[in-house]
Amino acid sequence: MKKTNKSFAKRLKVTKNKKVIARRPGQNHFNAKESRRSQLADKRSSNLADRLSKKEINHFITNL
């Protein structure tokens, strides 16, 4: 039986319509030199299906 990758699963949120939402990685620090516009753009979450295929998502998360 496959296990869920817990560290990856904690960064995700599943909406009521079963969409998987995630923040873009690498946006935690070193933002002081960026413009405010790019800081806010990086803060937004996006649909994980736009970035990963269903096969890749199922590789990390088994119960979706």
Q: Which residues contact 62 (CB under 8 A, 6 or more apart)?
A: 2, 3, 4
Query: How would residue 63 be classed by pLDDT, with cut points 50, 70 and 90?
Result: low
Task: Give the pLDDT of residue 37.
Answer: 92
Paired strand residues for 13: 21
Q: Dihedral through CA 12, CA 14, CA 15, CA 18, nearest 10? A: 140
Q: Which of 16, 53, 41, 33 is nearest to 61 (CA)?
A: 53
Task: Give the pLDDT of residue 64.
Answer: 54
CB atoms under 10 Å from CB of 20, counted, come to 18
State both tokens at 1.
């039986």
Q: Which domains does the chain have, with CATH numbers?
A: 6-60 (4.10.410)
Task: Give the pLDDT of residue 26.
Answer: 74
pLDDT digits (tens, 9 = 90+) for 13-62: 888 887 888 877 777 788 888 899 988 888 888 787 777 787 877 777 76
